[in-house]
Amino acid sequence: MLQVMQIMSYWLLGLYFITFAGYLYDFFADKKFLHNAKRLFLFVTLLFHVVYLVERTIFLGHLPIVTQFEIFSLLAFSIGFTYFLIELLTDIRGTGVFILIVAFIFQMQSTLFIQDDYQVHSILQNYPLGTHVITAILGFSAISISAAYALMYLLLYKNIKSNKFTTIFKRLPNLEILELLNFYAIIIGFILLTIAIVIGLTWMPSAFPEFSYWDPKIITTMVVWLVYCVEIILKLRKKIIGKRFAKYSLYGFIFSILSLLFTNTVLNSFHDFVN
């Protein structure tokens, strides 16, 4: 079975490469026959990825959240799945190349370096914890995609102001569409992060004797959740639009990453068993 999982991992990497190559070729060539075909490639890739993750879970007896490279594979799936949802919701297909290259890189790292022989902390075999972690990863992946769209918006805005257009910026959607994509990614990320928080706060108190609502990682996550909650409210009330909305999204993402890095490397948390 280990050999089967290794083979599946390389097949999965190949599918991500084919999907990315299809989006890349279509971005520059704009071939009509690829408009639907590349979405089908992405769907097949994500479906195969689900099968691969389920196979690992069944054979190893735990959700794939134990090692760094298992999480890399989850990140690849999360990024690809979130982009797929956004593309379905908006039918805008011109930005996939910038998102899926990140998914491909994460999966490449996972495929090349993942291990299947290791000791597993008993708590990591708990499925509520796995669901909590997976929804959190999905949420932060969507937030990362929103930051990518915000950056595209700001770069395109700068190019328009300076009246300088490269081939890449000519192929991007207009500013209004990039703002919409940014907003959809934030909504998806916020919903998933909310689910992760609810699961964590309802299950963890009974699972961890040392649980505390004042745990640094819980506080940090709640602050990040509040930052995006405020952004969504301000956006719906049209208090922040255009360039201001893009900057808020980008700064919110930077704050989120720095906060999580700080809690993971400096402060003590009952989450440290993951290490």
Tokens matching residue 221: 């996550």
On whether both 98 and 61 belong to a single domain, the answer is yes
Core vs surface per residue 175-184: b (16+ CB within 10 A) or e: bebbbbbbbb
On whether both 175 and 198 belong to a single domain, the answer is yes
On whether both 190 and 94 belong to a single domain, the answer is no
**Structural domain total, the chain:** 2
On whether both 98 and 189 belong to a single domain, the answer is no
Q: What pLDDT score does 121 carry?
A: 61
Residue where a domain terminates, one of 97, 120, 143: 120
Q: What pLDDT score does 122 carry?
A: 62
On whether both 108 and 148 belong to a single domain, the answer is no
On whether both 4 and 79 belong to a single domain, the answer is yes
Q: What pLDDT score does 65 carry?
A: 77
DSSP secondary structure letters along 140-191 = HHHHHHHHHHHHHHHHHHHHHHHT---HHHHHS--HHHHHHHHHHHHHHHHH
Q: Tell me how far apart the terminal alpha carbons of the chain are, to the nearest angstrom.
A: 26
Q: What pLDDT score does 170 carry?
A: 73
Nearest C-alpha neighbor of 143 from the set 195, 178, 193:
193
Q: What pLDDT score does 217 carry?
A: 80
On whether both 62 and 77 belong to a single domain, the answer is yes
Q: What pLDDT score does 260 carry?
A: 76
Q: How far apart are CA 253 and CA 38, in angstroms?
A: 29
On whether both 133 and 148 belong to a single domain, the answer is yes
Q: What pLDDT score does 273 carry?
A: 45
On whether both 48 and 163 belong to a single domain, the answer is no
Structural domain that includes position 22 = 1-120
On whether both 70 and 201 belong to a single domain, the answer is no
Residue where a domain terminates, one of 120, 155, 183: 120
Q: Is residue 61 a contact partner of residue 24, using CB atoms and an 8 Å limit?
A: no
Residue where a domain terminates, one of 100, 120, 140: 120
On whether both 170 and 185 belong to a single domain, the answer is yes
Mean pLDDT, 10 residues at a time, over the chain (275 residues)? 84 96 87 81 96 88 79 92 92 89 94 74 66 88 94 90 74 90 95 92 74 80 93 94 94 88 60 46
Q: How far apart are CA 202 and CA 47, in angstroms?
A: 30
Residue 50 phi, psi dihedral angles, 5° rounding: -60, -45
Q: What pLDDT score does 219 carry?
A: 86
On whether both 32 and 164 belong to a single domain, the answer is no
